Amino acid sequence: MILLVVFGGLMLILGFFYLVNSWQQYREWKWATFIVLVSLAATVYGAINLPYWHHHSQSQQTTQQTKNADRSSFSSFSNNGLQSQNGQTQENKEMAVLRQMQKAYTKMGSVSFDSDSKTFKIQPKDGDESKAITYVIQNPSQADQAGWPNLTKSLVSTSKQLKKVLGSGYSVSLMNPDDSNAAVFTAKDGQQTYTAVK
């Protein structure tokens, strides 16, 4: 395409001079105008289709995607919404909600349900998720940059939905990656009840 732009540009300049010359000497303009218009069209077409423009738009798109991906270490861990479980026993509702939460938080880790404490426990899997949580626990001042508020907001929202579907008294706990018996964040009935990050 660069050759088309260069060639079209040269033809445009020569065509313009040819037009001026033809008009001054012979009072003819049709053929010269046609050459100018064709060379102008070729130049514009070539310039629009230069790889630079496509590369630039792709790089902008890639940059935007990267920004969106980097905005939060926890951004992929939002719940997908819990569906109402009408006409079922409470135990069946709990199991149905557990399955939905396992799907919703599958990227983050495993989800289990403790019926005694009525708590859905999210255990982060090894990898970036657990490293990010451990980092936030060790460096609370970096919590905002790591996306901790987004994650906790998602968990509070999930607990609010649990209250609608199952009733009051159900909690959602994010467990410590290094200690599966200790929670780092808990929300109950749409309210935060515990956080290890202060």
User: Which percentage of the chain shows pLDDT scores above 70?
Assistant: 78
Among 70, 104, 124, give the residue marking a domain's end: 70
The reply to whether 178 and 111 lie within a common domain is yes
The reply to whether 183 and 94 lie within a common domain is yes
The reply to whether 125 and 154 lie within a common domain is yes
In a domain, 145, yes or no: yes
Q: Which residue has the tokens 């649990």?
A: 162
As given in the structure block, the two tokens for residue 100 are 């939905």
Beta bridge partners of 173: 121, 186
pLDDT, tens only, 72-115: 444 444 444 555 555 578 888 889 999 998 998 888 889 999 99
The reply to whether 153 and 97 lie within a common domain is yes
In a domain, 83, yes or no: no
Angle between helices 148-166 and 90-104 (to 10 degrees): 160
As given in the structure block, the two tokens for residue 137 are 């626990």
Domain, as residue range, for 40: 2-70
As given in the structure block, the two tokens for residue 106 are 């599958």
pTM: 0.57
How far apart, in whole angstroms, are the C-alpha atoms of residue 115 and residue 122? 14
pLDDT, tens only, 40-71: 887 777 778 776 655 555 545 544 544 444 44
For 15, 100, 115, the CA distances from 112, given in Å and listed in that order, are 77, 11, 10
